Chain A
């Protein structure tokens, strides 16, 4: 039964994501997670100030329930289906990250330098989370979707806009890791 605690290889994970998209289509919905951020803005009252948020958020309630499920799934997977959460990334990547100051590379699921509770008192870690979040929230709505909406749903439907967006994702990601990371870490 030890296999149950092992991380899933790509050839299990990828088909599982396709299955999730299939199930959502079969219940009459589309796979896309970033629109929830807009819905949450509306629930917080953003519709009173900005027209973009003026819509009946109850029409998106189903997707918030998917989010609730994703939270529960994260709890189940980390609590009952995992013994050792450390992620076995490429040893070269580990060496590289340690040089940048990420001592937890290869030993944890998330870098403790950013996601441990005491990182919250570190102004640099906190800024990284805030700036990262702002960019994700702004960019994903500007592009009209994120990894699920464009890279999976959109490309599966052979949408050229989604291909442009995914190329953009990679340009942004590569600029961050090759140009900006050496400056900030």
Chain B
């Protein structure tokens, strides 16, 4: 039952990424050029609703569908890892035009070369794990 709920949520996510055009390389380029409100509207409206939602869940102690407490994990404090890691991700995001969610949506949409991108990003993650202890965090 839980497995089916994850699958359904994933399907809605995939459809949303495709139909919103957030999975389009062109939309990402246009966003970084500040030539359209589209992507800012998507992230901004998701965020406004998200902030209200998280506050309501915390203040009203809303439980999950299974009656469990909903946990939020605070991110550990640091500056360098978020700034440097963020810049590296941003360079890749603008170049490849896809982030780790939409890249899978594009597989389903039938773009074979995206598999190269996914494979490279798995290798990139592995390289991080390999030299993690030598990097400033």
DSSP class of B's interface residues: helix, strand, loop or mixed? helix
Determine the distance from Cα of A46 to Cα of B81 in the docked complex, in whole angstroms.
Answer: 22
Determine the distance from Cα of A92 to Cα of B10 in the docked complex, in whole angstroms.
Answer: 34
Classify chain A: how many residues form its interface, as a range.
Answer: 35 or more
Shortest distance between the CB of B132 and any CB in chain A (Å)? 6
Shortest distance between the CB of A118 and any CB in chain B (Å)? 10
Partner of B89, one of A46, A68, A135, A177: A135
Determine the distance from Cα of A126 to Cα of B113 in the docked complex, in whole angstroms.
Answer: 8
0 or 1 for each of B80-122: is its CB under 8 Å from A? (1 = yes): 0111111111111111111111011111111111101111111
Interface size in chain B (residues, C-beta < 8 A): 113
Contact between B125 and A140 (Cβ–Cβ < 8 Å)? yes
0 or 1 for each of A10-24: is its CB under 8 Å from B? (1 = yes): 111111111111111
Contact between B108 and A73 (Cβ–Cβ < 8 Å)? yes
Determine the distance from Cα of A47 to Cα of B58 in the docked complex, in whole angstroms.
Answer: 36
Q: Count A/B pairs, Cβ under 8 Å.
A: 485
Shortest distance between the CB of A115 and any CB in chain B (Å)? 5
Determine the distance from Cα of A82 to Cα of B93 in the docked complex, in whole angstroms.
Answer: 25
Contact between B47 and A164 (Cβ–Cβ < 8 Å)? no
B19 in the interface (beta carbon within 8 A): yes
Partner of A120, one of B38, B39, B100, B112: B112
Q: CB-nearest residue of chain B relative to A10?
A: B41
Contact between B86 and A66 (Cβ–Cβ < 8 Å)? no
Contact between A69 and B73 (Cβ–Cβ < 8 Å)? no
Contact between A71 and B92 (Cβ–Cβ < 8 Å)? no
Residue numbers in A under 8 Å from B130 (CB-CB): 49-50
Determine the distance from Cα of A18 to Cα of B16 in the docked complex, in whole angstroms.
Answer: 11
Contact between A25 and B89 (Cβ–Cβ < 8 Å)? no
Chain B residues numbered 1-33 whose CB sits less than 8 Å from any CB in chain A: 2-3, 5-33
Residue numbers in B under 8 Å from A124 (CB-CB): none
Contact between A139 and B47 (Cβ–Cβ < 8 Å)? no
B residues lining the A interface (CB < 8 Å): 2-3, 5-33, 35-47, 49-51, 53-54, 57, 64-66, 68, 70, 72-79, 81-101, 103-114, 116-130, 132, 135
Q: Closest 7 interchain pairs by CB?
A: A69-B10, A73-B14, A168-B86, A172-B90, A137-B124, A133-B120, A135-B92
